[in-house]
């Protein structure tokens, strides 16, 4: 069992991005997700990877995906390709975006691994539905599959954990439930086989509802005797 924590950072500027990456590395983050959709402009994206010793994930969520990027889909995808060419280790592609097959091929040719992601912001679907989503992501050539649901009850955590315990045997999978009731699955999903889980740097920089800080997660793992 290997527990990996990815710290998600939402910089407004590239200079702030450098600072947030440095802080995440000081907390021994295993990966760092850069929320490019938080940036005020995209002129210096290529400068970001050189400042990090930790694998970086480029994510650029549109407003429709509960993100901050309000440009066109063509512009959004162009930024992801730029990130891949600049040295980001991973690029996140949301399942179902236009021309996704060609985008994934382009990103891989540029040298990045592709995370194909699915979010359900309303509920936690049955395991049969989660398996269908996983099959779609694998068929697209995902290097990492990401399936994130929303917990409307504590029991929803059990659904995601049961799913990840089986599905992680055939894929690198990130899976847990968002929301205030989803903290359990965020914390322990790696124990059940998830490739990694997400944390924030601090309370002011949460990028999703229910996120724990990396300090809280590390302390919990230490308390439980997990590494």
Which domains does the chain carry? Answer: 5-114+183-224 (3.20.20.70)
Query: Would strands 173-178 and 144-150 be described as parallel, antiparallel, or unpaired?
Result: parallel
Cβ contact 202:8 at 8 Å: no
Q: What is the pLDDT of residue 203?
A: 72
Cβ contact 156:180 at 8 Å: no
Instruction: For residue range 129-146, list pLDDT tens digits in order.
Output: 999 999 999 999 999 999
Q: What is the pLDDT of residue 165?
A: 97
Q: What is the pLDDT of residue 209?
A: 73
Indicate the average pLDDT of the chain: 95
99's torsion region: left (phi>0), alpha (psi -120 to 50) or beta? left
Helices (H) and strands (E) in the chain, counts: 7, 8
Q: What is the pLDDT of residue 1?
A: 73
Q: pLDDT under 50 in the chain at which residues? A: none
Q: What is the pLDDT of residue 82?
A: 97
Element (H, E) at 14: helix 14-26
Rounded to the nearest 5 percent, the helix, strand and coil shares of the chain are 45, 20, 35
* Residues involved in catalysis: 119, 146
């Amino acid at each position: 069992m290997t527990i990996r924590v990815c710290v998600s950072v939402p910089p407004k500027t590239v200079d702030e991005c450098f600072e947030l990456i440095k802080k995440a590395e000081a907390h021994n983050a295993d990966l760092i997700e850069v929320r490019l959709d938080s940036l005020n402009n995209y002129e210096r994206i290529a400068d970001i990877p050189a400042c990090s010793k930790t694998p970086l994930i480029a994510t650029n969520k549109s407003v429709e995906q509960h993100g901050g990027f309000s440009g066109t889909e063509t512009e959004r995808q162009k930024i992801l390709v730029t990130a891949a060419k600049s040295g980001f280790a991973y690029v996140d592609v949301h399942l179902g975006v236009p021309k996704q097959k060609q985008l994934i091929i382009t990103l891989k040719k540029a040298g990045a691994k592709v995370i194909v992601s699915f979010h359900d912001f309303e509920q936690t679907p049955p395991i049969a539905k989660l398996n269908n989503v996983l099959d779609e992501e694998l068929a697209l050539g995902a290097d990492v599959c990401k399936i994130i649901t929303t917990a409307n009850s504590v029991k929803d955590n059990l659904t995601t954990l049961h799913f990840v315990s089986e599905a992680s045997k055939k894929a690198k999978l990130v899976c847990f439930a968002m929301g205030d009731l989803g903290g359990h699955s965020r914390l322990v999903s790696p124990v059940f086989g998830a490739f990694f889980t997400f944390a924030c740097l601090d309370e002011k920089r949460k990028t999703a509802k229910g996120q724990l800080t990396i300090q809280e997660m590390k302390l919990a793992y230490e308390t439980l005797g997990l590494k």
